[in-house]
Amino acid sequence: MSAVRIGPYTLRNGLILAPMAGVTDQPFRQLCKRLGAGLVVSEMVTSDMSLWNTRKSRLRMIHEGDPEPRSVQIAGGDAQMLADAARANVELGAQIIDINMGCPAKKVCNKAAGSALLKDEDLVTEILHAVVAAVDVPVTLKIRTGWDRANKNGLTVAKIAEQAGITALAVHGRTRADLYTGEAEYDTIAAIKRAVSIPVFANGDIDSPEKARYVLDATGVDGLLIGRAAQGRPWIFREIEHFLLTGEKLPAPELIEVERILLEHLAALHAFYGDVMGVRIARKHVGWYLATLPGAREFRAHFNRLDGPQIQCAYVREFFAERDKSLTGDGKGVAA
């Protein structure tokens, strides 16, 4: 994987944290960037500016303090609204605008946004031209391979994107109709990569260094988007980076490091969201971190009833202290 550029930005590597609503908030983005991601993308922000006054939307639009370059994803189905939203986010500090035409979530698709747009190529063209014209930062696009298997128009949309001045394209190897079922396929991504000259990033089911190598080789793409595999495992970026550079696998992080990262993540969540919301959001992250460790199920059942930041951190410390005691060896390498 050679150096990846998005407009004026050269990324440290082509490993990108995929946008995930409810997951890739600022604390998680900062963590993934520090642990090796070349780029992190915000949760999607609706293009309907009348909804921006909720606490949730306001928190999504804090770009200050984000690792650079700051990529902010917008979602919507109206060209003018998306153009306005792009401009407003650039004013708030976005350095890259990413347009979501890849998400099948109902909330987005009911308003004919996200991947539902792929069905209407004229509208796609209108949106892309409007957003590119509205801002002077790079505009990237995230798509699926098509609307459904009978209408796999990802390649056509990719060409529309290139024509419209989109700087880079991420492709999730499923159609909108596939939702998250079945295995991501990479043949269509390879065909798209061959058909356009802008950087293309592959996405879908990349969950290990070996899989990353495989997808890069199978598609010839410039980089990879990693989503679910980073949940509770933000160090996956450095693991993949190391493997791609050296062909060697890094050992799994020691428990003591997992504990340190998790406590740091919790503290950042509590600080960013405040105690009430921070405690609630911390629960799902903690569940992901500990999912593969023995005793995780019992721990979670109890942890999810705790309702203060300090007690959450104390209980996590206790969990790791117990694991440490129960290990007869040196406490290494249990976090897969």
Ligand X SMILES: Cc1cc2nc3c(=O)[nH]c(=O)nc-3n(C[C@H](O)[C@H](O)[C@H](O)COP(=O)(O)O)c2cc1C
Binding residues for ligand X (CB under 6 A): 18-23, 43-44, 73, 100, 102-103, 142, 172, 203-206, 226-229
How many whole angstroms separate alpha carbon 92 and alpha carbon 97? 12
Task: Provide the 10 A C-beta neighbour count for residue 45.
Answer: 28
Q: How far is the CB of 166 from ligand X (least distance, A)?
A: 15
Q: CB nearer to ligand X: give 188 or 203.
A: 203
Answer for the pair 14, 5: CB distance below 8 angstroms, yes or no: no
Q: CB nearer to ligand X: give 160 or 230.
A: 230
Active site residue 103: yes
Beta strand 139-146 pairing with 168-175: parallel
Print burial letters for 224-256: b (CB count within 10 Å at least 16), e (below 16).
bbbbbbbbbbbbbbbbbbebbeeeeeeebbebe
**Stretch (H or E) spanning 159:** helix 154-164
Q: CB nearer to ligand X: give 103 or 255.
A: 103
Q: How far is CA 66 from each of CA 24, 32, 167, 226, 290, rounded to the nearest angstrom?
A: 11, 11, 21, 18, 26
Q: CB nearer to ligand X: give 102 or 209.
A: 102
Q: How far is the CB of 225 from ligand X (least distance, A)?
A: 6
Residue 104 C-beta-side C-alpha neighbours within 13 Å: 15
Report the amino acid identity of residue 307: D
Candidates 138, 145, 143, 144; CA nearest to 164 is: 138
The 8-class DSSP code of residue 193 comes to H
Q: How far is the CB of 107 from ligand X (least distance, A)?
A: 10
Report the amino acid identity of residue 230: A
Tokens standing for residue 101: 């035409």
Answer for the pair 297, 267: CB distance below 8 angstroms, yes or no: no
Q: CB nearer to ligand X: give 40 or 255.
A: 40
How many whole angstroms separate alpha carbon 274 and alpha carbon 277? 6
Active-site pick, 32, 103, 109, 313:
103
**Stretch (H or E) spanning 287:** helix 275-290
Q: How far is the CB of 177 from ligand X (least distance, A)?
A: 15
Q: How far is the CB of 231 from ligand X (least distance, A)?
A: 8
Q: How far is the CB of 217 from ligand X (least distance, A)?
A: 18
Q: How far is the CB of 193 from ligand X (least distance, A)?
A: 17
Answer for the pair 211, 227: CB distance below 8 angstroms, yes or no: no
Q: CB nearer to ligand X: give 33 or 172.
A: 172
Q: CB nearer to ligand X: give 228 or 332.
A: 228
* Residue nearest ligand X (C-beta atom): 227
Residue with tokens 């539902």: 116
Candidates 200, 125, 120; CA nearest to 167 is: 200
- By annotation, the residues acting in catalysis are 103
